[in-house]
Homo-oligomer: A and B are copies of this chain.
Amino acid sequence: MPTIRDVAKAAQVSTATVSAVVNGSAYVSPELKARVMAAISALDYAPSSAARSLKRGRTQLIALAVADLANPFFNRVVCAAEAAVRAWGYSLVIFNSDEKPEAEKRIVERVRALSCDGMILVPVGDPASYARLQRDGRRLPTLLFGRLVEDDALDSVTIDNHSAGRQATNYLLDLGHRRIGSITGPLHLTTAKERLAGMMEAMRARGAEPSPSHLRSGEFREDAAYSAARQMLGGGDRPSALYVANGLMALGAMRALADLNLRCPEDISIASTDTIPGIGALRPRLTRTEHPVADMVNEAIRLLVDRIERSRALPPRNVVFQPSLVVGESCAPATQHQLRNVG
């Protein structure tokens, strides 16, 4: 591996000059520049990023720690982040906390050890563990994505989950449904909690109150939703509509419906928040609120890079995006029969 010294020797200049040519950091006369360039390509020289990082104190690495790499939502996040990060001249290091707080702790250690320039974190559990992140947020600029941790002093980009729950539920209410059930994620996550809260608010605003047995929460996964839906819909006292808190879970719920010989939307209407790629092929198409994932990620990266390169000391910035309702065919007006069942 040729070093900057080899290049300098070959071009008969100093290493400082080579550095200046490589980085364009100072004026170098045309002839010297040409000699240096020639030497560089002759030797196939490439600067050592390790040495460069050591000297500059920058690695040009941004870490992205998502909560569940198997979840299509986070795949979209990864995809968008890769592009955004590249556009800013960084590279993306991926971590999967798999919804496990201990794993997250190890990831933070690792990110720190790698001395990444910044980190996008989808926080998993345990607000107390972020105290430390906040303390040395200066050292390792960190942005919370998608989920919030109460009382934090970190940058964040989130979606208005309350509004997502409200919008989806209002749509169902507008169709005449009153017995609406919900399958949501773990309630210690703001995403799950707030979507549920939004739903409850919407219902109460219309004087409806969901039956406790119609409210389930579980892992943000297809199989969790499947079994929740089977339980809830298997009995006699079933809701006429379902609000499901995530795309993967919506698929699970639909699978449960199919297995129970229930039709969607004739027997049960389903609305959800969030989607998954390729879901367009699924009939009926899901009525759902969608996250502007790409915009959210772009904004997150922009904020983080700004924090890294400019404003270490500024107060934290918290950006909230709005979900939008996408209407499919998975919801039908409540039938007389369904309404009669109202407890």
* Residue A75 lies at the interface, judged by CB distance under 8 Å to chain B: yes
Could you say which residues of chain B place their CB within 8 Å of the CB of A83? 96
* Closest-CB distance, A70 to chain B (whole angstroms): 5
Interface residue ranges, A against B (CB under 8 Å): 1, 46-51, 53-54, 57, 59-61, 69-70, 72, 75-76, 78-79, 82-83, 86, 91-96, 110, 112-115, 139, 222, 247-248, 251-252, 254-255, 258, 276-283
- Determine if B46 and A50 form an interchain contact, defined as CB atoms under 8 angstroms apart: no
* Closest-CB distance, A94 to chain B (whole angstroms): 5
A54-B54, A113-B46, A258-B281 known; A70+B79 contact, CB < 8 A: yes
- Determine if A282 and B280 form an interchain contact, defined as CB atoms under 8 angstroms apart: no
- Determine if B47 and A50 form an interchain contact, defined as CB atoms under 8 angstroms apart: no
- Determine if B78 and A69 form an interchain contact, defined as CB atoms under 8 angstroms apart: yes
- Determine if A79 and B96 form an interchain contact, defined as CB atoms under 8 angstroms apart: yes
Choose from B91, B252, B280 the contact partner of A110 (Cβ within 8 Å).
B91
Could you say which residues of chain B place their CB within 8 Å of the CB of A113? 46-47, 49
* Closest-CB distance, A325 to chain B (whole angstroms): 21
* Closest-CB distance, A77 to chain B (whole angstroms): 11
Report the 6 A-B pairs with minimum CB-CB distance, sorted nearest first. Answer: A50-B53, A251-B281, A69-B79, A255-B281, A75-B75, A50-B54
Could you say which residues of chain B place their CB within 8 Å of the CB of A60? 114
A72-B277, A252-B281, A254-B281 known; A114+B94 contact, CB < 8 A: no
* Closest-CB distance, A43 to chain B (whole angstroms): 13
- Determine if B91 and A92 form an interchain contact, defined as CB atoms under 8 angstroms apart: no
CA distance A280 to B221 in the complex (A): 13
Could you say which residues of chain B place their CB within 8 Å of the CB of A47? 113
Could you say which residues of chain B place their CB within 8 Å of the CB of A255? 280-281
A75-B72, A251-B281, A254-B281 known; A82+B94 contact, CB < 8 A: yes
Could you pull out 20 A-B pairs where Cβ atoms are within 8 angstroms?
A47-B113, A48-B115, A49-B113, A49-B114, A50-B57, A50-B59, A60-B114, A69-B75, A70-B79, A72-B75, A79-B96, A82-B96, A86-B95, A91-B114, A222-B280, A254-B281, A255-B281, A276-B277, A276-B278, A278-B279
Q: Which chain B residue has the least Cβ–Cβ distance from A256?
A: B281
Q: What would 5 more interface pairs be, CB under 8 Å, given A49-B113, A53-B53, A75-B78?
A: A70-B76, A78-B94, A86-B95, A251-B281, A281-B282
Could you say which residues of chain B place their CB within 8 Å of the CB of A277? 70, 72, 222, 248, 276
Q: Which chain B residue has the least Cβ–Cβ distance from A83?
A: B96
Could you say which residues of chain B place their CB within 8 Å of the CB of A94? 78, 82, 92-94
Q: Which chain B residue has the least Cβ–Cβ distance from A98?
A: B83
Could you say which residues of chain B place their CB within 8 Å of the CB of A279? 278
CA distance A48 to B55 in the complex (A): 11
Could you say which residues of chain B place their CB within 8 Å of the CB of A252? 281
* Closest-CB distance, A37 to chain B (whole angstroms): 16
Could you say which residues of chain B place their CB within 8 Å of the CB of A95? 82, 86, 91-92
CA distance A110 to B91 in the complex (A): 9
Could you say which residues of chain B place their CB within 8 Å of the CB of A78? 69, 75, 78, 94
